[in-house]
Amino acid sequence: MHVLDKTQMERLEAKAVNSAKTRQPLYAPRKKIFPKRASGSFRRFKWLVMAITLGIYYLMPWLRWDRGPFAPDQAVLIDLANRRFYVFFIEIWPQEFYYVAGLLMMAGIGLFLITSTVGRAWCGYTCPQTVWVDLFLVVERAIEGDRNARMKLNAGRWTPRKLMLRVSKHAIWLVIAAATGGAWILYFADAPTLIGDVFNGTAASVAYVTIAVLTATTYTFGGLMREQVCTYMCPWPRIQAAMLDENSLTVTYNDWRGEPRSRHAKKVQAAGQPVGDCVDCNACVAVCPMGIDIRDGQQLECITCALCLDACDGVMNKLGKERGLISYATLSDYNANMAVATAGGSGPVNPSLVRTADSTFSARLAHFHIRKIFRPRTFFYMGAWTAVGLALISSLLTRDRLEINVLHDRNPQFVTLSDGSIRNGYTVKLLNMIPEPRTIVVTMQGLQGAEMSVVGSDLPAARFFAIAVEPDRLNMLKVFVRQPVDQIRGIAQTFKFRVEDRASFESDEYTATFNAPEIAR
């Protein structure tokens, strides 16, 4: 421990693993990172986000939603067997997959919006890789201790104690990974039933394969690879530069007030030399889960988790200095303050230029205001995100839950009956898209003198008929339409099949073609 200026601050022997000044070779062996536990508002916010996201993931399949006796009661269910997607009161059919596409568009635009305003906040707080790494680190700290204890254990020789700690840690990691894979499959079938089948050994083989694959990937990515996934596998660090501009908030080391840094500030000041607020304690390096030194500036590895901000604020509190040596700041504000600290760029950073005689900050310094993030790019992303969302909501509120599709027989296109009348065949598909049984009335509009008959039914030939359709099912009928020869007005006449549920007043129409031979006119 190195004591700084008779305070209780210690200098941590922490060195950036991923340094902006010295890039590691692509195929170099991984250097382990032992992040120290941080405390502060951003760390508490990360705990909250982790609790919410993991709670949603693990508990959502167990929530129930009553849809009546003819539909599953699992709140969120991807029913591949019946080709349905249930989300609480919303039911999505295969032909309505555009809703999923719309949600993916909203997710992409939302990611652009978040990045352009507050940097890689998605990566730092809600990315699954970040959340599971945090969870795995909780287990690691609980078993092996905080940073110094883990480093000592890792460097020490193998003993029964070290073996016991490592086995315990990896065993719990595997349990978490298996629970992650197990929770995933519960979204695709009734959760209580499937979990029983899994433990009884009677589940489908695809369930066990999925659990095994997700267990392996979660354990490997969250426990073994960690920051390497973000650095080498994820494309977003390379894309984010295009999303940021001079008014984007990012975690920034304010070297305009921190430099020149010194471990012995009082001695340097007594010698009449300038000294900044940074005491070079390395607290920001020690807590970084990516193993970088934020004082090197913006780096590809930084996930904007702001744990370095919490660590630095804690040091400033102990030293009696203003918080914010590391803070969320925009590039425009940073450049403006650097211009003040360097006298317009004519010299090195001089701390005396950013403070007044009574040691308060100069009024010339730029400060962040929330209105700075509301700029044309922000409004564009917000407008696009809102437009897609409103379009989806509007479509959901106005969509029909009753549909008809008709397929004309291709061979033969028509048949001449013994009385000279012409008959066309159609495959009529009635879609009842609610979990309740319905009686659907099918009516033929147009095609003068024609009548319908349903193959395999004792319904009399007529211009309309009523038929029962099971809940959440497609009813496919073979329908013949016959028209007397003296009523035919062309070789291709159009008419409509109209379906109606008179109980709910829902209806739908399909325009079909009736074909006839040339001689029939």
Instruction: Please list the pLDDT of the chain residue by residue as tens digits (521 residues).
Output: 444 554 446 777 777 776 666 666 767 777 899 999 999 999 999 999 999 999 999 999 999 999 988 889 999 999 988 889 999 999 999 888 899 999 999 999 999 999 999 988 999 999 999 999 999 999 999 999 999 999 999 999 999 999 999 999 999 999 999 999 999 999 999 999 999 999 999 999 999 999 999 999 999 999 999 999 998 899 888 888 788 889 999 999 999 999 898 887 778 777 778 888 999 999 999 999 999 999 998 888 899 999 999 999 999 999 989 999 999 999 999 999 999 999 888 889 988 898 888 888 888 998 888 888 888 999 999 999 999 999 999 999 988 899 999 999 998 999 999 988 999 999 999 999 999 999 999 999 999 999 999 998 888 999 999 999 999 999 999 999 999 988 888 889 999 999 999 888 899 999 999 999 886 44
Torsion of CA 136, 142, 146, 150, to 10 degrees: -80
Note the CATH number of domain 402-515.
Answer: 2.60.40.10
**CB-based contacts of 336, cutoff 8 Å, min separation 6:** 365, 366
For residue 124, what are its two tokens? 């730092």
For residue 507, what are its two tokens? 């209806």
Q: How far is CA 254 from CA 25, 107, 293, 354, 368, in A?
A: 29, 32, 13, 12, 13
- CA 15, 20, 25, 28 dihedral sign is positive
Q: How far is CA 475 from CA 72, 463, 505, in A?
A: 20, 19, 19
pLDDT of residue 22: 66
How far apart, in whole angstroms, are the C-alpha atoms of residue 292 and residue 21? 10
pTM of the model: 0.86
Give the up-direction half-sphere exposure of residue 308: CA atoms within 13 A in the CB hemisphere.
32
**CB-based contacts of 23, cutoff 8 Å, min separation 6:** none
Task: Count helices and strands (H / E) in the chain.
Answer: 16, 14
Secondary structure E strands in 459-491: 464-469, 473-483
For residue 10, what are its two tokens? 């210690």
How far apart, in whole angstroms, are the C-alpha atoms of residue 42 and residue 278? 20
Residues forming beta bridges with residue 442, ordered by sequence position = 465, 499
Contact 452, 444 (CB under 8 A): yes
**In the block, which residue shows the tokens 């159609």?**
426
Residue 131's H or E segment, with its range, is: helix 128-144
The ranges of the chain annotated as CATH 2.60.40.10 are: 402-515
pLDDT of residue 28: 72
Residue 340's H or E segment, with its range, is: helix 331-341
* Phi, psi of 413, deg, nearest 5: -75, -25
**In the block, which residue shows the tokens 């001449």?**
416
How far apart, in whole angstroms, are the C-alpha atoms of residue 328 and residue 326? 7
